A and B are shown apart, each in its own frame.
Chain A
Amino acid sequence: MNFDRNEEQGRFPQRWWEDERLKTVQTMDKGDKHLVPFFAPKIYPLEPMDKPFDETELESRFVSAFARILAEHRQLKVYMESCVKCGACMNACHTYQGTGELRNIPVMRADLLRRYYKKYFTTQGAILGPIVGAEKVTLEGLKEMYYYFYQCSQCRRCSYYCPMGIDTAEITRYGREILIQCGFVSQFHWSVLTSMWKTGNHMVITKPGLMDTVEFLEEELKEETGVDIKIPIDEWDADLLYNPSSADFFAYPDTMIGVAKVMHAAGIKWTISSDIIETGNFGLFLHENTMRMLNKRLIDQTFKMKNCKEVVLGECAHGWRTWKMMTKTINGEWVDKKFHYVHLVHKLIELIDSGIIKVDPSRYEGMKVTLHDSCNNSRGAGIIEEPRYVLSKILPDGVFTEMTPNREMNWCCGGGSGILWDDPESINLRVKLSKNKAEQYMSVDPDIAVVICSIGKAHNSFIVHEGYKKELDHVKIKGLVDLVGDAIVDFPFPAGKYAKS
């Protein structure tokens, strides 16, 4: 495959980073497996498409998708026009710092889309072409775009540094949407969306499977506390609907156990709907229409409930951001008129502050706890001080240690926007992407790291138990509600869970 577009098009002038860039592009097809685009077998239900992928119609497909997004989202036009190439985003990006690839600097990544914007949507680009950095769409160009757009974890840290207020995460989001319409999608993201359409959750959990898992969790609860604690499924007369992240039923049982303990101690009549055991919404990462449709599932389900007054969304950061920040725009103003939608951390504050659940901070004496601010919680939806407040109530003084930087300037763990590929080639990339986070952990050296996000739990566990195992294997990754549940005075403290290994 000939990636050498410079010679072909006689681009002028030769830019200083070209050599470096060509080197990476030429090795692209051999490298990280998931970074080689996956041609979706069929685009429906993402986009109805009557013909399979065809190279000859690439350009028209690309331009029409781009034009539609520009018309629908005026901010993209502003982002495309207003970059002054100051490079302030360079040191803000963990992907660039981890991989060292120039195209991973947010501005350079956005330029991959900007070159097409110039060509097809500006007069000077259409006339002057390569002189102003405009380029024609080619298959190789789109592959290059794919390669870098799927390394961006949409953490939005760079947008905090941008003097022009450009949100590179949004550029990535729209870029991925355009790529999908041209037939390019990451296989991992595709399989997650397929699972979601099939079963209503990311983990392909069927109802019989869910019931068996819940039964197992109830046994665990009985063993741990000596009390019969129920995890009610599909009880339609409940007062509160809890919408968990489906990964809690597979990989993070402590989170589900924590929620059950809190609800039992507070005496709340709650339930989980077996149709929507998923807060997550991968539509946020790559396709807006999918995001809208998946959001609607949650709305439809809550409207089935008779007495339900409150919907609590579980520990899933991008799911909460979708719900909090996007729903009103994409699904309509009316959705939160009928119900009160809150994040689990808000509910915990309410229960602890009103004295409904009583916690004993002395249980965590002698441990060192830190908090990882998930990108979509902190930068995306403003959950910054809330978890710190809950931690201040359940931990004794001096136990909580901040990482630096923290809050909205926190480093992304590297797994944002679902970069959870686990084939051997991609694992090397993930280790690189999580370099900054691992350094933060090493400088704080905590016993427990609190992560309020399922993707975050998966990726932080990868950092401490696989990627940087030698230095960090002793760190435990826990959800916030895990710690709250174990601090409740009504139940004995499961010391084994926190024993140092």
Chain B
Amino acid sequence: MPFIDVNGEQLEVDEDGFLQDPEKWNEDVAKYLAKTEQVEELTEEHWKMVNYLHDYFKKYQIAPMVRKLCKDNGMDLKKVYELFPTGPAKGACKIAGLPKPTGCV
């Protein structure tokens, strides 16, 4: 398994760079992961989405439905793609420290 180095701490990630242990996630890790997903700077809107995803995952151990994500944050899908060019399932989930979504998506 590859590792990433955030502020001297070694964190395990999978082949696609998704964090293996969501417990180790923090703001610095999010900033580091954002750079790998074509997000240069995390704005307030980015943080709103990222924190929402992380809290949802903590509560239910899954990523929310894409439509729910948009609705609860008051954004449409186009806006989500503007914020996260690699998409909600890949880009946003990765930055929020969620594991990679598997299956037919």
Contacts and interface: CB of A to CB of B under 8 A. Distances in A.
B101 interface: yes
Contact of B67 (A209, A220, A420): A220
Interface string B67-91: 1100000000000000000000110
Contact of A249 (B61, B65, B89, B100): B65
Contacts of B2: none
A253 B67 contact: yes
Contacts of A205: 62
Given A187-B15, A423-B16, A203 B61 contact: no
Interface stretch (A65-73, A391-399, A441-449, A451-459): A451-459
A454 B104 contact: yes
Given A249-B65, A250-B66, A204 B104 contact: no
A203 B65 contact: no
Interface string A20-53: 0000000000000100001000000000000000
**Chain A interface residue bracket vs B:** 35 or more
Contact of A203 (B16, B60, B62): B62
Given A208-B60, A212-B60, A203 B102 contact: yes
A213 B65 contact: yes
A201 B103 contact: yes
Contact of A192 (B66, B68, B90, B103): B103
Contact of A245 (B61, B89, B104): B104
Contact of A457 (B63, B100, B101, B104): B104
**Chain B interface residue bracket vs A:** 20 to 34
Interface SS, B side = loop
A250 B105 contact: yes
B87 to A, nearest CB: 9
A249 B61 CA distance: 14
A216 interface: yes
A14 to B, nearest CB: 38
A216 B68 contact: yes
Contacts of B59: 208
A322 to B, nearest CB: 14
Contact of B100 (A191, A245, A458): A191
Contacts of A458: 104-105
Given A251-B89, A422-B90, A202 B104 contact: yes
B62 to A, nearest CB: 4
A212 B61 CA distance: 11
B97 interface: no
A216 B65 contact: yes
A195 interface: yes
B105 A206 contact: no
A213 B64 CA distance: 7
A133 interface: no
A478 to B, nearest CB: 14
Contacts of B100: 191
Given A208-B59, A209-B60, A195 B65 contact: no
Interface in A207-253: 208-209, 212-213, 216-217, 220, 245-247, 249-251, 253
A332 to B, nearest CB: 28
Which 4 interchain pairs have the tightest Cβ spacing? A202-B103, A209-B62, A209-B60, A454-B104
Interface of A: 33, 38, 187-188, 191-192, 194-195, 201-206, 208-209, 212-213, 216-217, 220, 245-247, 249-251, 253, 280, 316, 418, 420, 422-423, 454-455, 457-458
Given A203-B62, A212-B60, 7 more contacts: A188-B102, A191-B102, A203-B103, A206-B60, A216-B68, A245-B104, A247-B104
